[in-house]
Amino acid sequence: MSEITTPRELFLHELSDILYVERKLADETLPKLISEVRDDEFKAALEDHLDQTRGHVTNVEQVFGELGEEASAEKCLGFEGLKAEHDKLLEETSSDLIDSVDLGAAARTENYEIAAYEGLRRMAKALGEDKAVDLLDANLAQEKEALRLVEKIATRVSNESVKATA
Ligand SMILES: [Fe+2]
Ligand SMILES: [Fe+2]
């Protein structure tokens, strides 16, 4: 028998998935990236996004509360895949290209989060959970802003790294 049989249950499952991602980012992944990158603007952007990510955790927990549910996280295989790919690539790449590797991983992660929040927002709207929609929108807006900044920094860093090796 299927465990998830209603749109609401599916919504809660997807919410558990993004809670896992946000907690991992706040507790492990972003602090690790901050310690390994060299570019000052990228480091500062990651530090700002770490602050925002702590807020994302709180907002997602609040969405559970809005639905009268206990917040629970479920291992997100998509995120674990992104992380495994990043870790492998880092091992294979010389240290002067760390920023480029980490900018690629950051852009992939933001795109993943954006897709997740757009889906969650759509489901919350359909379920008539307006407060949940607002909380999800707040996270979504910051993910989009973070992606724009990562793309801007990635363009500069790519140009600089190509110039340095020309
Ligand atoms: Fe986030
Ligand atoms: Fe993010």
Summarised one tens digit per residue, pLDDT across range 9-60 is 999 999 999 999 999 999 999 999 999 999 999 999 999 999 999 999 999 9
Using DSSP's 3-state secondary structure scheme, residue 68 falls into coil
Give Cα 49 to chain centroid, integer Å. 10
- SS3 state of residue 26: helix
Write the class of the CATH domain 7-165.
mainly alpha
pLDDT of residue 12: 97
Counting ligands in written order, which one lies closest to the CA of residue 21? 1
- Cα–ligand 1 centroid distance for 100 (angstroms): 21
Cα end-to-end span (Å), the chain: 60
**For residue 165, what pLDDT band results from cuts at 50, 70 and 90?**
confident
Domain range annotation of the chain: 7-165
What pLDDT is attached to residue 2? 83
Mean pLDDT value across residues 80-102: 95
- Say yes or no to pLDDT of 1 above 80: no
State the number of CA atoms in the 13 A half-sphere of 17 facing the CB.
18
Q: Rounded to whole angstroms, how far apart are CA atoms 3 and 92?
A: 40
Q: How far is the CA of 113 from the centre of ligand 2 (A)?
A: 6
> Could you tell me which of 102, 51, 108, 118 has the C-alpha nearest to residue 78?
108
CA of residue 166 to ligand 2 center, whole Å: 33
- 5 CA distance to ligand 2 centroid (A)? 30
